Amino acid sequence: MKASRLAATGAVAATAVVVLSSPAFAHVSVAAEGTAAKGGYAVVDFKVPNERDNASTTKLEVNFPADHPLASVMPEPMPGWKIEVTKSKLAKPLELHGEQITEAVSKVTWTATGKDGGIRPGYFEKFPVSVGALPEDADELVFKAIQTYSNKEVVRWIEVQEDGAEEPETPAPVLALSAASEDGHHGSTTAEEADAKTENAAATTEAAAGDSSDTTARVLGVVGIAVGALGVAYGVLAGRRRNDA
């Protein structure tokens, strides 16, 4: 009876190993490094996980909101990725540092270079972009993204979350904007400060990816040891039962 219970426990633990080893079903998302305050500048990271175990992510297209165009959009150079910035004519010009802006970035596209480039299965990558000035009349910005895999599969992260409705299957990345402080500051208020954050984005991304991989390896190691111990215990008990018989 005890041997049967141990065998059942071992099966549960083995299932846990399979679950932890499988890729997490995350979404393409966007978040600011620090504060994304209305009227200010910020560095935002588009986080792209690879959700497939047989293909790499080789292309990411991010469409910028047309209803709240951003006068300044500067992606950070990334080794292994070709970056293309697409601009469109504005129906209403914007003002930036006293100058009239008649066109704004409508899309940024990252394409992996090299035969084995891209985001491999089991990994994620962050794509940093310096943006501003953020709108003062909006609480959030919606960025529709398209993720392409090496097997030609395309996932469109373009569904907009409706109030009171369940989260869509492929939601668009949403950047929440915070209010400007009472003293009139907007968090990261200058393009220079946003550029400084951009320079550190690559190092931050590498550290985050390393920490994530290290944590997963430790968890899998502990579970594997537990499964092995249960297997040994089961074998010992089974042997004793045969000797008693």
pLDDT at 75: 98
This prediction has a pTM of 0.66
For the chain, give the longest Cα–Cα distance.
93
pLDDT at 214: 54
> What residue ranges in 159-222 does DSSP mark as E strands?
174-176
**Distance between CA atoms of 19 and 72, rounded to whole angstroms?**
43
pLDDT at 132: 93
**Distance between CA atoms of 34 and 30, rounded to whole angstroms?**
12
pLDDT at 26: 78
Split the chain (245 residues) into runs of 10 and give each run's mean pLDDT.
Answer: 49 42 68 95 98 96 95 95 96 81 94 93 97 94 98 96 87 94 52 52 48 51 54 50 51
User: Which one, of 238, 245, 240, lies nearest residue 10 by Cα?
Assistant: 238
